[in-house]
Structure 1
Amino acid sequence: MSAGTISHAVALPTIASPALWTITVAALVLLLTLDLILTRRPREERMREAVGWSIFYLLLPVLFGVYLWADHGGGVAAEFFTGFVVEKSLSVDNLFVFMLLLAAFAVPQALARRVLLYGIVGALVLRAVFIALGAAALQSGTWAFLLFGAILILTAGKILRDVMTGHEQEVDISSMRTVRLVRRFVAVTEDYRGSRLAVREQGRLALTPLALAAVAILATDIVFAVDSVPAVYGVTEDPFLVFATNAFALLGLRALYFVLKGVLTKLRHLNHGLSVILAFIGVKLLLHWAHGVWAQVPEIPTLASLGVIVSVLAVVTATSLLANRRDRLRAAPERAGSAEPVQEPAGER
C-alpha cells in the first residue's frame, strides 16, 4: 500500500480492468466446474492424484505472479505473493477445522471430496461478498483501517487464548446454531444417501447428513472470511488482488486436504504462528492509518511483511517438528518399559 492511499480502494486501475476481471472469473468458474465433474462419483482420493492437483494449484499463482511482475511491476507482484502466503496459511487452518468437522459428522471417505468442494465454493462466494464490503468501507474513509486492524488483533488474541486452553481442537456440532436451526425445521435422515443432499421419505423432503456437514462447513467459512479478508487488505488495497489471492489459496484446498491429512495434526504450533501473523498485519493496518494522519509515523513495507510472515511460518513448522520428535523420544523408553518380559523355558532356569 502506498502512502496517502487512505480513502480510496483501487490504487492500480490497470489491475482491476474489466477484461482481467472477466478472464479471472471465467477461469475460476472453469476450474470449479472441472472439480464438480471430478467429484461427481463418490470415491476415495488417491494420494498420487491429490499430489498432482496440489502441484498444479501451486503453480497457477506462481505463473500469475510472474505475469503481474512482467506487466505491472515488482511492487504489485510482491503484494500478490504476500497476500497469497497469508491466505494459504489461513486456509491450512481452515483444512484442520474441515478435518474435525468431517470426523464429527462421520463423513465417509468416498464423500469427503464432495463436502470439501461445497466448502470451497461457499468460501469463495462469501469471500467475494466480504471483499466487496471491504472495498466499500475503504472508499468511505480512514475508519476502515482502524476497524480491520482491531478485528485482526482481537482475532489473534482469541486464537492464542484457544491454543492455551486447548479449545482450538474441539468441534461440537450439537452446539452449532446453524446445525440446530436446520434440524429444527427440516427432517434429517439417519444415514448417508450417496452424494445426495436431500431425499424424499414418506412424501416429505428430508436432508441427509451430507447436507448438514455442508451447512456446518459453510458456517465456519463465514468466520474464516471475517478474519481472512481484513488480513489481505492489510497487504494490498486493490480488491482484484484481494480476490485473486483468496481464489488461488482456496482452489487447491480439496486436493491439499488429502496430501496434508496426516500432517495437519503434527503442525501443533501453526495457530501460534497465525496469531502472530494476524496481530502483525493488524499493527501494520493501524500504522498505515496513523501514517495518513501523521506523516512521521513509519509504515511497514510489503517486502518486510513478506519476510516476517515467511519467517514466522518457518519457525512454527520447525518448532512443531522438534516438539513431535521430542515426544517420540520420550515415549520410546516408556513403550520399552511397558513391554512384558520374555518368560524363559523351565528347562533353562
Structure 2
Amino acid sequence: MYPLASEASSIGSPVLWLVTIVVLLALLALDFVITRRPHEVGMREAVGWSVFYLVLPVLFGLYVWLAHGTQPSVEFATGWVLEKSLSVDNLFVFMLLLSAFAVPEELRQRVLLYGIVGALVLRAVFIALGAAILQAGAWAFLVFGLVLLATAVKIFRDALRGDQHQPDINQMRSVRLLRRLMPVTEDFRGPRMTVLSGGRRALTPFALVVVAVLVTDVVFAVDSVPAAYGVTSDPYLVFATNAFALLGLRALYFVLQHALSRLRHLNHGLALILAFIGVKLGMTWAHRTWPSVPEIPTVLSLGVVVVTLVVVTLTSMRANRRERALR
C-alpha cells in the first residue's frame, strides 16, 4: 500500500541526498570535460561509457537492497527500467532533432549533454511538485493515473499513424520565436550559441537545436515523473531512478543511433506500459478510498515492464526481417 508523501518513510536522508547530488554533479562535470573538445564518438568509446552507466544503477540497487531492504530495491529496479525505456524514446526524438538541424557529428554529444542536464533539472522540479501534490490527498494518485492514461492513448495513436517523422524545424514554435527575437547565422560555429555577425549579436543553429531539445525535455518530464510515482511514492527513489536513467544517454545515443530507428514497436510498448502504470495508480487511489480494492504489487509491475519491452523488441526484429525479405 502506498502511503501519502507526508506519511511515507523515505530512504533519502539529508546525507544520502547530498552524496547523490555531489556524485551527479561530478559525473555531469566529467561529461562536460569529455565534450569540451568536439570530436566524433567512436563505437569503442560509446560502448565503454554505456557499460559504465549501466553498472552504476546496478551497484546503487545493491546498496539499496543491503541498506534498506527488498521493497525499496525492487521499487528502484522497477522505476529504473521504466524510466530507462522512456528515456530511450526521448533519445529517439533527440535523434530526429539532430538530424533535422543537420548537427555535425562532432557537436552532437554536446547537444545531448545539454538535453540531459535540462531533463534532470526539469524532472527535479516536477518531482518536488509531485511530492507536494501527493501530500494533498489520495486523489493525486487518480490525477497522475489519468495523465498517464491520456499520454498512453496519444502515444498509441501516434504509433498507429507512424508519426515518428522528421520534424519541420521551420514550423517549430520555439525556433520561430527565437528567429523573431534575434538573427540566426546560416552555419554552425562550433559549440558557440551566439556570435558577433555584422556588428550584431546573433544566434547560431547550435542554440536553436539546444532550445528545441530542452522543449522536448518538458514534454517528457510531464510523462516520466507521474510514471515513477506510480512505482514508488519516495521522492528520493523517484529522483534516483530518473537520474540513473538519464545519465549515460549521451554515450548510449552513439551505440543505438542505428538501432533506434529499427525499434518500430517501441512506442506501442511504451503506450501499454504507461497505461498499465496509470491503472495501477488508479487502483492505489481506489484502495485508499475502498480498502477492499486490491493494489498491484511492485514486483508484478517490474515483470510487466520487462516482458513488454522484450516482446516489442522481438516483434520489431521480426518486422524488420520480414521487410528485408520482401525487398
**1:201 aligned partner, one-letter code:** S
Contact 1:266 1:320 in 2 (8 A): yes
TM-score (norm 2): 0.98
The Cα shift of 1:169 comes to 2.8
Kept in 2: contact 1:159–1:168 (CA 8 A): no
Alpha-carbon shift at residue 107 of structure 1 (Å):
0.1
* Gaps in structure 1 of 5+ consecutive residues: 332-349
* Equivalent position of 1:67 in the other structure: 63
Q: Distance in 1 between matches of 2:133 and 2:247?
A: 26
SS at match of 1:33: helix
Structure 2: distance between partners of 1:95 and 1:9: 34
2: distance between equivalents of 1:10 and 1:316? Answer: 38
1:42–1:111 CA contact under 8 A, matched in 2: yes
SS of 2:36's equivalent in the other structure is coil
Q: How does 1:145-294 map to 2 (within 5 A)?
A: 145-294=141-290
Determine the structure 2 residue equivalent to 1:39. Answer: 35
* 1:158 partner letter: K
1:50–1:255 Cα contact (<8 Å) kept: yes
Q: Distance in 2 between matches of 1:293 and 1:40?
A: 54
Following TM superposition, by how much is the alpha carbon of 1:181 offset from its aligned partner in structure 2, in angstroms?
Answer: 1.0
SS in 2 for 1:235: coil
Contact 1:197 1:207 in 2 (8 A): yes
CA distance in 2, matches of 1:242, 1:127: 9
Task: Give the equivalent residue in structure 2 for 1:77.
Answer: 73
Of residues 8, 11, 15, the one that matches 1:11 is 8
Amino acid at match of 1:29: L
Q: Match of 2:8, as an amino acid?
A: A
User: How far does residue 201 in structure 1 lie from its aligned partner after superposition?
Assistant: 1.6
Q: Separation in 1 of the partners of 2:199 and 2:236?
A: 47
Cα distance in 1, alignment partners of residues 258 and 238 from structure 2: 30
Q: Does 2:139 correspond to 1:143?
A: yes
Give the Cα–Cα distance (whole angstroms) in 2 for the partners of residues 87 and 10 of structure 1: 25
Report the secondary structure of 2:187's partner residue. coil
- 1:9–1:238 CA contact under 8 A, matched in 2: no
Corresponding residue pairs, total: 327
Task: Look up the equivalent residue of 1:295 and give its one-letter code.
Answer: P
Paired position in structure 2 for 1:112? 108
Query: What are the equivalent positions in structure 2 for 1:124-143 lying under 5 Å apart?
Result: 124-143=120-139
Which consecutive residues of structure 2, in runs of 5 or more, have no partner in the other structure? none
Which has the larger Rg? 1
CA gap 1:9/1:303 in 2 versus in 1, 3 angstroms:
farther
Identity across the alignment (%) = 65
Query: Is residue 5–residue 234 contact of structure 2 (8 Å, CA) maintained in 1?
Result: no
Q: Which runs of 4+ in 1 moved over 6 A?
A: none
8 A Cα contact 1:234 1:281, kept in partner: yes
- Kindly state the Cα deviation for residue 170 of structure 1 after the two structures are TM-superposed: 3.8
The CA deviation string for residues 141-178 of structure 1, in whole angstroms up to 9 with x for no partner, is 12211111011000000001111112133422222211
Whichever residue aligns with residue 179 of structure 1, its letter is: V
Check conservation: 1:10, 1:238, Cα contact below 8 A.
Answer: no
**Does residue 57 of the first structure (1) align with residue 53 of the second (2)?**
yes
